[in-house]
Structures are given as structure tokens and as C-alpha cells.
């Protein structure tokens, strides 16, 4: 796959979810994201509302990072984020439910948040793929689709099991078959890794070190 730096930037949710992030840090993230030409910035819900230039979307997270919240709490958090200007919400499922094969519970959890995220706003579902079996990845993706999600997403980036893998992205992409987007997130730190995720089927990337990844285009002549 041949991508230019600008083309790859449009896959990126430029992300800052560190607990110690300050309003000044978020302002810097937005300025950098605009300069780099990314698709969106992704910030913690407590940092909303934010002001962004035209064309730069705002994403946030919900039930983050553990997913061990009541569905009603996740839904309320998502609704408030939308009210405060978020265009996209990345929610975390209850990982244990997926591991236990209780995909009805996963679907109900996602559906509760979907009801709080209106049409025209994007809901991404973080399944924490590194912590799941292949069977659970497939089941969680199917449950997310049945509940009306727009994307499935690999990882929070905070789980000790790790972040995105090419294998997980490929399996997720095969499962949703182009009907949903696939976001690869967690541990993607180089140009080659980012391109590999896209080649495997990712339609969005969650990056915190975006500038360093995009700078890798120079080494490959991908300008």
C-alpha cells in the first residue's frame, strides 16, 4: 500500500488520554493535530468542551479504561460528552462478559450507549482485543454491530495485555466485513506499523505519538 503523509494523517485520531493531561496540554494537542492534518483529536471527557478549527473532529472516551461501569453510567457519560460537543465516542465494553461468551450482555451494553449517541455521531466500541481469544473478538464485534455501533476498536492502550496487533485488526475487519469501521489503537509508534494496520483493514488509527509516526513517511519516500 502506498500512502502519502497527508493521506495517512486523515486516518488518525490524535489522542491524549493521560490522567495528568492539563487544559494547556489539550490546547497543544489541538494545535498540533490541526498542523498535522489529522482527522480528529481524542481527549478525556472531563476536558470537554474544546474549541477546534473547522474540519477537525472531536472524539472522547466512555467507560474508560476498564469498561467495568454500569451501562446506564456509560450512557449518561456519552450523552454529556455529545452535549459538550463530542462528534465521536469510544466506549469500552465489559471485557469479562466477552471472555465469558456473554455476548447478549455485550450487545446490551453497547446498545445502551448507542441510544445516548444520536444518529450523525459516531460510536466506536473498544473490545480490548489483546485480552480476548479469537472467538471472543469475533463475538464482541458481532455484538457491537448488532447494537448499532459504527466502529469496533482494538484497545484502550492502558491494558497490560497490550495494544493493537495486525492479526486482531485483520480478524476484526473480516468479521465486520466493511459494514463497520475498524480502529487500531495502542502501541502504534512507527510509520510501518501504522501502514501495516491499514493494510490489515484498519480504517482509523488511534495515535498519541502522531508526529513521530508521520515523520516516518520521509524514510519511505511517502510524501
Domains of the chain: 5-220 (3.20.20.70)
At residue 223, the pLDDT reads 56
Peptide bond into 70 cis (omega under 30): no
The per-residue pLDDT of the chain, averaged, comes to 97
Instruction: Choose the catalytic residue: 13, 94, 109, 183.
Output: 183
At residue 218, the pLDDT reads 75
Instruction: Choose the catalytic residue: 13, 109, 150, 153.
Output: 153
Kindly report, residue by residue over 64-89, the tens digit of the pLDDT.
Answer: 999 999 999 999 999 999 999 999 99
Using the Cα atoms of residue 164, residue 168, residue 174 and residue 175 in order, give the sign of their dihedral: negative
Using DSSP's 3-state secondary structure scheme, residue 185 falls into strand
Cell of 207: 495515535
Q: How large is the average pLDDT for residues 148-156?
A: 98
Kindly report, residue by residue over 33-56, the tens digit of the pLDDT.
Answer: 999 999 999 999 999 999 999 999
Cell of 19: 490522567
| Bridge partners (DSSP) listed for residue 205 | 12, 184
Q: How large is the average pLDDT for residues 155-170?
A: 98
Query: Distance (Å, rounded) from C-alpha 157 to C-alpha 128?
Result: 9
Kindly report, residue by residue over 106-128, the tens digit of the pLDDT.
Answer: 999 999 999 999 999 999 999 99
Cell of 145: 454491530
Instruction: Choose the catalytic residue: 13, 74, 90, 124.
Output: 90
Known catalytic membership, residue 183: yes
| Angle of CA points 170, 171, 172, to nearest 5° | 90
| Bridge partners (DSSP) listed for residue 206 | 13, 185
Known catalytic membership, residue 121: no
Query: Distance (Å, rounded) from C-alpha 139 to C-alpha 162?
Result: 20
Tell me how far CA of residue 60 lies from CA of 17, 36, 197, in angstroms: 9, 19, 22
Instruction: Assess contact for 202 and 173: CB atoms under 8 A.
Output: yes
Who wins on pLDDT, 219 or 163?
Answer: 163
pTM for the full predicted model? 0.97
At residue 1, the pLDDT reads 80
N-to-C CA span, the chain: 13
- Confidence label for 21 from pLDDT (cuts 50, 70 and 90): very high
Cell of 1: 500500500
At residue 116, the pLDDT reads 98
SS (H, E, C) 138-164: HHHHHHHHHCCCCEEECCCCCCCCCCC
Q: Which residues contact 100 (CB under 8 A, 6 or more apart)?
A: none
- Confidence label for 222 from pLDDT (cuts 50, 70 and 90): low
Amino acid at each position: 500500500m502506498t500512502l502519502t503523509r497527508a493521506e495517512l494523517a486523515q486516518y488518525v485520531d490524535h489522542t491524549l488520554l493521560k490522567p495528568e493531561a492539563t487544559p494547556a496540554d489539550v490546547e497543544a494537542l489541538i494545535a498540533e493535530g490541526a498542523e498535522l492534518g489529522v482527522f480528529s483529536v481524542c481527549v478525556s471527557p472531563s476536558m470537554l468542551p474544546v474549541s477546534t478549527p473547522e474540519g477537525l473532529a472531536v472524539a472522547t472516551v466512555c467507560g474508560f479504561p476498564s469498561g467495568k461501569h454500569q451501562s446506564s453510567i456509560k450512557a449518561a457519560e456519552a450523552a454529556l460528552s455529545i452535549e459538550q460537543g463530542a462528534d465521536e465516542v469510544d466506549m469500552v465494553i465489559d471485557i469479562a462478559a466477552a471472555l465469558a461468551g456473554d455476548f447478549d450482555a455485550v450487545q446490551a451494553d453497547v446498545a445502551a450507549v448507542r441510544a445516548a449517541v444520536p444518529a450523525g455521531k459516531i460510536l466506536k466500541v473498544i473490545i480490548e482485543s489483546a485480552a480476548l481469544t479469537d472467538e471472543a473478538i469475533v463475538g464482541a464485534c458481532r455484538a457491537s454491530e448488532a447494537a448499532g455501533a459504527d466502529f469496533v476498536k482494538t484497545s484502550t492502550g492502558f491494558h497490560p495485555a497490550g495494544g493493537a496487533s495486525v492479526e486482531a485488526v485483520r480478524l476484526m475487519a473480516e468479521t465486520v466485513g466493511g459494514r463497520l469501521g475498524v480502529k487500531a489503537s495502542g502501541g502504534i509508534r512507527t510509520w510501518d506499523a501504522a501502514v501495516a494496520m491499514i493494510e490489515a483493514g484498519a480504517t482509523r488509527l488511534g495515535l498519541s505519538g502522531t508526529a513521530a509516526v508521520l515523520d516516518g513517511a520521509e524514510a519511505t519516500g511517502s510524501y
